[in-house]
Structure 1
Amino acid sequence: MAPHGPRKGAGPSGARNPRGSTGKAATRGGICKRRNTTGARVDRDGDLDMDAPAAGGRSSRKPKRDDTIPTGPRSTRPAANGPRGPRPTAKAQQIIQRVITGTSGNLPSRIANGMSGGTKAFKGGRQVNASHTMTLQVEGLKSSKAANNEGGGLKELLNFLERKAQSVAKTTRPIRIKKSHINGDFVYVTTSKEDGEDILKLNGFSFAGTVLSITDTSTGEQDGLSSNALEVKDQLRNVLSARYDPNTKLLNLSSLGDDPILKEMGFFSGGSKPEKLFRALMAVCEGLFKTPEEKRNAVVSVSLAGNYVDDVLQIMSLADTFPDLVNLDLSRNQFKDLKALQKWQHRLRKLETLLLNDTPIEASTPDYKAELIGWFPRLQNLSGLQVRTPEQVAAELAALKPTPIPQHGIDFRDIGGIGEGFIKEFIGMYDANRSSLAAKYYDDQSTFSVAVDNAPNTSLHPSNPQRSSWGAYIKFSRNHTKITHAGPRVQRLFTGTNLIQSVWQQLPLTRHPDLATEFHKYIIDCHPVQGLPDPSGQDPSGMDGIMITMHGEFQDQEPVTLNTATRSFSRTFVLGPGVPGRNPIRVISDMLSLRTFGPLPSSVPQPTIAQPNEEQQQEQMVVELCKQSGMTPEYSRFCLVGANWNFDQALMLFNEKRAQLPAEAFATAS
């Protein structure tokens, strides 16, 4: 544990007054008259503070054990310290003040009130926007499993950052987030600079199924920087400019410890790790490029050789700044095992060359190459050895792309036109009058659920840049890959007409393609099913019904922005007999699945068989008539010509005239 400084208000340890001293400091022993050298202290109400410490910093008496306010009638028995009843202690007054102001020391109250944690927050009310704070941008909450929790998962994320940062930093000092808010896809948190440095170490960590990206946004724009900051920024730009080769598009950041400019700037004083320097260099790089495409075209290769890096966590900012890097040299560093590289397992997906020569990992983990091949799908050159050919890379990437299931046309086995009639009516009413639709086809036992898969579908439509919002659907989503607990799954299964109507009113308005004119935008299957519950309860073995599955698309309008978006959907209905006295058809189950728009896979074309011409058809008929009648080809032809090349009539004519035919008609029949 690091040594602590002297306590507040205590004098230096070597400045004890000798016994009998008349100074203000307390004596070491003996009986000493209490000196009243200061005025009487009062509490918050202006009353005399009976529990105030004496002038020498020592309390006039021991504090009371009871820290609560008596709620019953005041006792008439005289108190030991006078006729006045006991007053709450200073600790109790602090608790009371917290209750009155609502500034308790837990995490939610600190978020709501913007106050720092600990007891100091209540004494001074220190705001979080002081000059010693740091603002961090955290990306990843919206794509995590916690986004479906109450409050959008903000509380869970803040607890994770505080707890994990303290663990990673290996400190007993509690990490505190003073203020936070969500803006779009990002969460902005404000901490002290010391705590912010520790939270930045979590960049690239996994949280609730997603990888967090944490950056420092507390530095202002060019106009807001101090003269010293501008000078440092210019010096770092000069370092980058001297180390960049525009011909090879190589940014050479090797052996930074030997760079005279960086030495003079003091980045390597005291044997510090290169993490802070890399973050500063990458921050400057971010400001040099306006678009990601410009960055990709400018920097293809980076060398970090000879920088004494022992964990990629120290240079995580490189993967954030140049995620599309093609060539990377990490030679002559201190990576001991694969764990030191694991934070990059799901990053740098376009890396083709990786050099780890002269690093401890070569001796400690001989099979590291086989593992890294799986981490980087495009890797071809690893430490000077070819591990894949370009053809192998192309084949493996093609195998990873999802391929649509071949469609051989719809399978629509309807019963009395029930399925067709339902689909035609459902699409129109769902777009125009959902309340009446639910009242007609749904009852108290009907169920409805919606599942959202908002992952981009670039493999099927790479030219579609649409990134629509899913906020109106996410709160109802029952996607089992993200909703893993039984309770939330049950809550998102909506049962009964009233509940289904309520949910439908909160979903965006839609417009489906017209079934008559745009049927190619749908794939609809219909199958009979048995064993459905009988709503009248008369048939325990169940009743017959149908299952309808629709795949297609629709346009909707976002409630807040009023922007329109096109989405793909699949919807499965189970239809059964209705309750007596109501509509004869009812929806037993309705499951709606939504995903990013992608056109339906076209049906697999059937092989076309070349049709024979007229002469070939006639020859085939002659051969067949020869087989069935035993006549020669010549007489068979005569028979077919007489029947106007109608094979059935020719065979019938043969049977009628068989006895009249000459012997030569069958001369070659054998």
Structure 2
Amino acid sequence: TPYSIRCDRRMKWHSEDEICITTWRNRKPPGRKMRQNTQDGYTRNWFKVTIPYGIKYDKSWLMNSIQSHCSAPFTPVDFHYIRNRACFFVQDATTASVLKDVSYKICDDENRKICIFVNHSTAPYSVKNKLKPGQMEMLKLTMNKRYNVSQQALDLQNLRFDPDLMGRDIDIILNRRNCMAATLKIIERNFPELLSLNLCNNKLYQLDGLSDIIEKAPKVKTLNLSKNKLESAWELGKVKGLKLEELWLEGNPLCSTFSDQSAYVSAIRDCFPKLLRLDGRELSAPMIVDIDSSEIMKPCKENFTGSETLKHLVLQFLQQYYSIYDSGDRQGLLGAYHDEACFSLAIPFDAEDSAPNSLRKYFEDSRNMKTLKDPHLKGELLRHTKRDIVDSLSALPKTQHDLSSILVDMWCQTEWMLCFSVNGVFKEVEGQSQGSVLAFTRTFIATPGGSSSLCIVNDELFVRDASPQETQSAFSIPVSTLSSSSEPSLSQEQQEMVQAFSAQSGMKLEWSQKCLQDNEWNYTRAGQVFTMLQTEGKIPAEAFKQIS
């Protein structure tokens, strides 16, 4: 009857024979018993934290953002990405409750609120399958044998088949989070100064477990991931917090997913801006200027043109920028731009001459040269994202800028933004227009970078024909010399550089000093400029010593 006492039984009907089978049960379901078993520490205290669409966020940023909104500190266990979600575990009901309260309190760069789900869970894999003390000791001994003290390098290639481990039936598979966690724990405790890590030939197909290396071994500069099973460069984003200078990826499926070498280098450098060598090949120097953002963006107190500190830092930035720009490989400029930066190019419009010969190579990308017949084209010609910008810059003619011609105008300065224009001349160094001199104006809008650097968020380049006066004075050393009263005294090192440069070039001391100063005391670059100008006959005879 509807009001009778409920019997603890289940009934099943077999449709063919119409037989009713009644099953009596006198115990609670196993799942409920597990939930109520307070002695089961693996189940009772663990909670799984899930962030939908967390795959879009860098682990460090996500964890720091959550921690900053948490009223209590917590230690994430087994952080990993699965499908489009980010997940980790915590072992405390109080922490779980605090994390629930953080949901929808964090906003990403697009001002979208981040949702956080917290649920009861069994213990994470790395905890349930934690290596036993004897296995940990054997792994530590094996790693000690593979560590090169003088080079601070650890060679873990083909680790699973190490004879010492196999002889004791210890199976170390680095794709398993418990094995990678144990390995990183040993590295943190025994090799804190580690600079080079070789994980070649370990059949790695994901780097979730390796992501903790950013905290466990932050000084690593060289990482070898060659001959593994990585299929996407996206996996590298899990360890992009490392300040790598050398990376090996050859032998991974991801290497064949790029259209050419340039696209490959661009994608990898997107993760590691300071990278100098990839798969054993030297890369162009990255565009990274060490600048104290608090100094750069401090509101000016002297005058509109800015303080001497700010002036020096901006000039240093431009020196490095154009050094890479003129090097022939502009991929090193990736580190100078914000991920979502914007770039546009323009040349003058002349109705009688739609594309002057000297500017023809810039015509296709110019937003000034288009009519309103195709209004959407101007938007399409804007280059968004730093990779598109650098690819666009790489397609422009190779150049050499005359740094002595550059004039910088800083016209807007706030606590978090710096706007300045750069005017000067350059010449093309290849093709039919080789040697032709062009003038340019470039306007940069920059903000403090994430790693104490100047980060370009907007870049507008205007190219035009140089005037006769600009062409005549381009790449020539001014006749006027420096007076000792107008310039600060030279250091001992600078005086020695001037003496050496004068002896090698044959120029007088004042001309040698001017050449070095114009090239920011870069001896090699000054020598290159001198050789070029001497070949072109642009250095006057009075610059040289009289030989009797």
Instruction: Tell me which interval the TM-score lies in, with the shorter structure as reference length.
Output: 0.3 to 0.5
Q: Which has the higher contact order (CA 8 A, sep 6+)?
A: 2
Of structures 1 and 2, the larger Rg is shown by 1
TM-score normalised by length of structure 1: 0.31
